[in-house]
Structure 1
């Protein structure tokens, strides 16, 4: 089952979800703020994300990221520390996040969605 992590107030998340639903593709929609992925889930997601590094999962434009001063701290954090931080607050995760059996897409670009959903 494809999982779609979203923030309901995000217009890009709504566009991405509509795009997938309009194609008739089944989707498990998860509110990433109310139910952020666990550390275990994030490690699994990151392991599928061949085209992303762990730092790419951070919502660097978000208020929480800036308030925590993470721009200066990320370089000194371990992988496990980053996973723990991401799982602690869904607002830290780049959104939307589409997770299929074999791939991950951060953000919404039609061509990227088509590539992973048509496998």
Structure 2
């Protein structure tokens, strides 16, 4: 299997749990710090498309920046493209961890947003 891309924030306890889960299950990954290497518009758009999730699920709704920017009130009036552009401005707006697992047949990758152990087990094992 090609290595997954694990996008996380090093000081995030949920990311630490997800990393431990990946290690315990022998899933190879390359780690990328979301604060130092924020996903860009093209990456976010591709992951959004592949995930099948609403773009709002990519927002870190419990983050300080999300609250400071009052995004709960602003997002309903934004288009998907506007939300993706906003996410690309600061990694702290993006829900983490993100796990992008390339498809073995060259198709769309598996994209997991946030760490929910049952979902990761279902999708990856």
Q: TM-score, normalised by structure 1?
A: 0.92
The Cα RMSD (Å) is 1.1
CA apart distance, 1:115: 2.2
Aligned equivalents of 1:72 and 1:82: distance in 2? 13
Partner of 1:11: 13
Q: How many aligned positions are there?
A: 117
**Higher alpha-carbon deviation: 95-104 or 58-67:** 95-104
- TM superposition shift of 1:116: 2.3
Task: Provide structure 2 residue ranges, at least 5 long, that are not aligned to the other structure.
Answer: 103-108
Give the whole-Å Cα distance in 1 for the aligned partners of 2:118 and 2:62: 23
**Gapped regions of structure 1 (runs ≥ 5):** none
Rounded Cα–Cα distance in structure 2 between residues aligned with 1:55 and 1:68: 15
Superposition deviation, residue 36 in structure 1: 0.9
Q: Which runs of 4+ in 1 moved over 6 A?
A: none
Q: TM-score, normalised by structure 2?
A: 0.88
String of CA shifts for 1:23-52, please: whole Å, max 9, x gaps.
1111011101111111000011101112x2
